[in-house]
């Protein structure tokens, strides 16, 4: 059943159906569409379009469809309907006849699809927030289990200064917290109801737009009908939130791939999240992490695609906008999968604390400490930096660490260097001296970790 046959003499071509039909993907909006229709039936009953009995029959049939939609047992494959809206309407008409033909009074698929997709987005925001909370919990878990481990911190992928492992974990917790807050912001912004806006100009029927908005959990009605039916900012914003969060996961994956490499050897990953090589029996590859990194391409692509789709559209609805769905559905699916596998990967991490500490000691990560030591003895920082650099150069030539140089060797660069220098060059000492808020010392790290644990309780 086409929803718009009356004015047409010929049917659609097969190729037109192929380009135009959206049921193959907007079937994902079935339960939202049905819930929207239940609310609409109540609104048009109150507006005098339906009798109470008609409304009840419609609602009953829609509730039965909703049960099937939620159990994923609606028979879409046998349907030749154009989209989810015509599918639901045709199914109702088959069951109820003329009563069901009244349901679309005062409504357009334009306000309908905007409503459905907002409801879908809102529900997925809630699921994704839960996914992100799980990743945070996994990071807090591995941090708590390996509280004292120290590993090198990097800039330019050069060993820079040592950091505690929980500090590394909590850096990603901060990113995922921002992802959550982005989703929560979006949830507030999108939560206005398009119903009652009709095709573009509003409806002539006396629909209580406030009531139908709250019936569907919206905070208020959209205030402009042209905007209401053609706004897809919420799609773009969710794609941006997905892209940003995938970028965070990708950076985490990149760090972990490196930590897991033969060269670093800081961590090993569980068999359950790695794969072997068909040729090289010794290999254990971090595929899950590589896919978290790799799937960014399609998610970022969907954001870009949607921006381009929207940029030239005149007000109000245009069929181009049907292209909003596949990209977002895919991005959300990939994001969800990656967040779930991220938890499994993180939970499987086993640290080699000896190798971490050894690497943290190597690479002259305590050179800044030596400079600060000289500053404490009255030397201006720039001069101290220079002296420490000369010490590093000499140590490099001797293939030694700074702390392996004798006091006589050290004093060649400054006679202010004394025996007490060896204590400040020790790994734990120099890490824990960074006790400032946000620093990597054991005190601020423990506080930050405790705060996260308390919040998750």
Chain contacts with ligand ARG (rule: CB under 6 A): 22, 26, 83, 109-110, 113, 317, 319, 321-322
Instruction: Provide, rounded to whole angstroms, the least separation between the CB of residue 25 and ligand ARG.
Output: 9
Nearer to ligand ARG, 110 or 334 (CB): 110
Signed CA dihedral, 297, 298, 303, 309: sign only: positive
User: Distance of CA 21 to CAs 9, 87, 235, 325, Å?
Assistant: 19, 11, 20, 12
The helix/strand/coil state of 162 is: strand
Do 26 and 79 meet the contact criterion of CB atoms below 8 Å apart? no
Parallel, antiparallel, or unpaired: how do β-strands 267-268 and 350-351 relate? antiparallel
Q: What tokens does 61 get?
A: 């049939």
Give min distance, CB of 16 to ligand ARG, in A: 13
37 Ramachandran zone, left/alpha/beta (phi>0; psi -120 to 50): alpha
Query: Distance between CA 17 and CA 182 in Å, rounded?
Result: 38
Which residue in 277, 348, 406, 414 is the catalytic one?
A: 277
Between residues 203 and 250, which has the closer beta carbon with respect to ligand ARG?
Answer: 203
To ligand ARG, the closest distance from the beta carbon of 81 in angstroms equals 11
- For ligand ARG, the closer CB: 105 or 353: 105
Q: How many CB atoms lie within 10 A of CB 277?
A: 10
Catalytic residue flag (residue 181):
no
Active site residue 167: no
CB nearer to ligand ARG: pick between 321 and 449: 321
Choice between 232 and 248, CB closer to ligand ARG: 232
Which ranges of 362-441 would DSSP assign to H, the alpha helix? 367-376, 381-397, 407-411, 421-424, 427-432
In whole angstroms, how close is the CB of 320 to ligand ARG at the nearest point?
A: 9
Taking the complex as a whole, the smallest distance from the CB of residue 239 to ligand ARG amounts, in Å, to 16
| The one catalytic residue among 37, 156, 230, 302 | 156
Contact (Cβ atoms closer than 8 angstroms) between residue 275 and residue 328:
no
| Least gap, CB of 12 to ligand ARG (angstroms) | 13
Between 292 and 321, name the residue whose CB sits nearer to ligand ARG: 321
Residue 276 backbone class (left: φ over 0; alpha: ψ -120 to 50; beta: rest)? beta
Q: Indicate which residues carry an active-site annotation.
A: 156, 277
């Amino acid at each position: 059943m086409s929803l718009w046959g009356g004015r047409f003499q010929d049917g659609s071509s097969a190729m037109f159906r192929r380009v135009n039909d959206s049921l193959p993907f907007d079937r994902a909006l079935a339960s939202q569409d049905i819930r929207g229709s239940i609310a609409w039936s109540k609104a048009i009953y109150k507006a005098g379009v339906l009798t109470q009995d008609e409304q009840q029959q419609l609602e009953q049939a829609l509730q039965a469809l909703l049960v099937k939609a939620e159990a994923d047992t609606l028979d879409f494959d046998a349907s030749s309907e154009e989209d989810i809206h015509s599918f639901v309407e045709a199914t109702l008409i088959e069951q109820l006849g003329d009563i069901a033909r009244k349901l679309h009074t005062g409504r357009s698929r334009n306000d309908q699809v905007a409503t459905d997709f907002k409801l879908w987005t809102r529900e997925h925001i809630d699921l994704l927030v839960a996914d992100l909370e799980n990743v945070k919990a996994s990071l807090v878990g591995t941090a708590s289990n390996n509280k004292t481990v120290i590993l090198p911190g990097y800039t330019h992928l050069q060993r820079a200064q040592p950091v505690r492992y929980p500090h590394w974990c909590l850096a990603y917790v901060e990113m995922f917290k921002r992802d959550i807050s982005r989703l929560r912001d979006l949830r507030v912004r999108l939560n206005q109801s398009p119903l009652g806006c009709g095709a573009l100009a509003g409806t002539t029927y006396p629909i209580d737009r406030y009531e139908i908005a709250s019936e569907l959990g919206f905070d208020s009605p959209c205030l402009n009908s042209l905007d209401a039916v053609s706004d897809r900012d919420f799609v773009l914003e969710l794609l941006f939130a997905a892209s940003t969060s995938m970028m965070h996961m990708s950076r985490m994956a990149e760090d972990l791939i490196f930590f897991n490499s033969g060269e670093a050897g800081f961590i090993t990953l569980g068999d359950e999240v790695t794969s072997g090589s068909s040729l090289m029996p010794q290999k254990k590859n971090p595929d899950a992490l590589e896919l978290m990194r790799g799937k960014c391409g399609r998610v970022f692509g969907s954001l870009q695609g949607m921006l381009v789709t929207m940029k030239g559209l005149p007000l109000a609805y245009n069929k181009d906008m049907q292209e909003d769905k596949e990209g977002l559905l895919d991005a959300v699916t990939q994001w969800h999968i990656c967040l779930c596998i991220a938890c499994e990967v993180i939970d499987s991490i086993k640290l080699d604390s000896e190798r971490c500490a050894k690497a943290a000691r190597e690479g002259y990560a305590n050179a800044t400490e030596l400079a600060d030591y000289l500053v404490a003895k009255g030397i201006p920082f720039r001069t101290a930096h220079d002296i420490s650099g000369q010490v590093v150069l000499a140590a490099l030539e001797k293939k030694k660490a700074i702390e392996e140089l004798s006091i006589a060797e050290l004093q060649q660069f400054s006679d202010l260097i004394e025996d007490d220098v060896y204590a400040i060059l020790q790994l734990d000492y120099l890490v824990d001296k960074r006790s400032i808020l946000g620093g990597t010392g054991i005190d601020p790290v423990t506080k930050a970790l405790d705060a996260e644990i308390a919040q998750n309780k």
